[in-house]
Amino acid sequence: MTNPFKFGSVVEDPFFTNRKKEVEFVSKTLDSNNHLIIISPRRFGKTSLIRKVIAETDRKVIYLDVQLTNSVNDFAAQLLKRIYRVWPGEKLRQLVRHFRIIPNISLNPLSNEVDISFQAKEAETPVLEDVFNLLDKIGSEKNRPVVVLDEFQDIMKLGTGMDKTLRAIMQQHQTVNYVMLGSQESLMREIFEDKKSPFYHFGILFPLEKN
Ligand SMILES: Nc1ncnc2c1ncn2[C@@H]1O[C@H](COP(=O)(O)OP(=O)(O)OP(=O)(O)O)[C@@H](O)[C@H]1O
Ligand SMILES: [Mg+2]
């Protein structure tokens, strides 16, 4: 499987310690039909924890760090690129052919990966919808993909109303487990705990304590 973690200093076995209860809790939640929200200050080990859980699952996993995306179309393109990594093949190509906005896809001869971009700035919502809906189409009740969106609070920097748009898309999905991680606690709590927020009580909120 492709390693979804390209950057940084997330720890791997055998250095990963003292998170037995947390690993169990996160795994159990992902085996249920619930979404999961993990909040903690920086450097508490959120990314390492989810990585550990992912390493132990045989489910399909998509990992995207929202902090490293710089526009709605870039966010959608990076997500689609990861979907290609996990499900290369004809079924995916067929589905992408039916997108309202067709992405530019080219094979990068150096990395042997696809490079993807969306041009139409005026059609951000259809682009997001089409890409996210792939996740639900390609999964099934028995084969639920796990979609990890790290530094999730940064969706708010991508454009106004992103929370509303994403929530409207995600709540239709029957066969995806979403995991949102965030290190800006007040923003994360605003997104998931404010009654007026579209993501209010979207999933199980798990504050990660210091190791
Ligand atoms: N279970 C663990 N055992 C040992 N060291 C750990 C563990 N979890 C995290 N660390 C250490 O803490 C550092 C921060 O971990 P990690 O990047 O996973 O935290 P984070 O909460 O995702 O931080 P950020 O908010 O900055 O992304 C790691 O580089 C690692 O050195
Ligand atoms: Mg992190």
**Right CATH for 20-207 from 3.40.50.970, 3.30.470.20, 3.40.605.10, 3.40.50.300:** 3.40.50.300
CB-CB contact of 64 with 83 (8 Å): no
Ligand 1 site, residue 48, Cβ cutoff 6 A: yes
- Say if residue 8's pLDDT is above 90: no
Q: Is 44 in the pocket of ligand 1 (CB under 6 A)?
A: yes
Contact 72, 166 (CB under 8 A): no
Residues 11-61: pLDDT tens digits?
667 778 889 999 999 999 999 989 999 999 999 999 999 999 999 999 999
Domain ranges of the chain: 20-207
List CB contacts of 194: < 8 A, sequence separation 6 or more. Answer: 200
* CA 34 to ligand 2 center in whole angstroms: 21
Q: Does ligand 1 have an atom closer than 6 angstroms to the CB of 144? A: no
Is the per-residue pLDDT at 131 higher than 60?
yes
pLDDT range class, residue 7, cuts 50, 70, 90: very low
β partners of residue 78: none
pTM of the model: 0.93
d(CA 178, CA 139) in angstroms, rounded, equals: 13
Question: Rounded to 5 degrees, what are φ and ψ at 121?
Answer: -65, -30
- C-alpha of residue 149 to centroid of ligand 2, in Å: 10
The answer, yes or no, to whether residue 126 has pLDDT greater than 60, is yes
Residue type, 64: L
Model confidence over 60-111: pLDDT tens digits?
999 999 999 999 999 999 999 999 999 888 999 999 999 999 999 998 888 8
Please choose from 5, 6, 11 the residue to mutate so as to test ligand 1's pocket, defined by most ligand atoms within 8 A of CB: 11
The 10s digit of each residue's pLDDT in 152-176 is 999 999 999 999 999 999 999 999 9
| Ligand 1 and 52: CB distance under 6 A | no
Contact in structure between 70 and 56 (CB atoms under 8 Å)? no
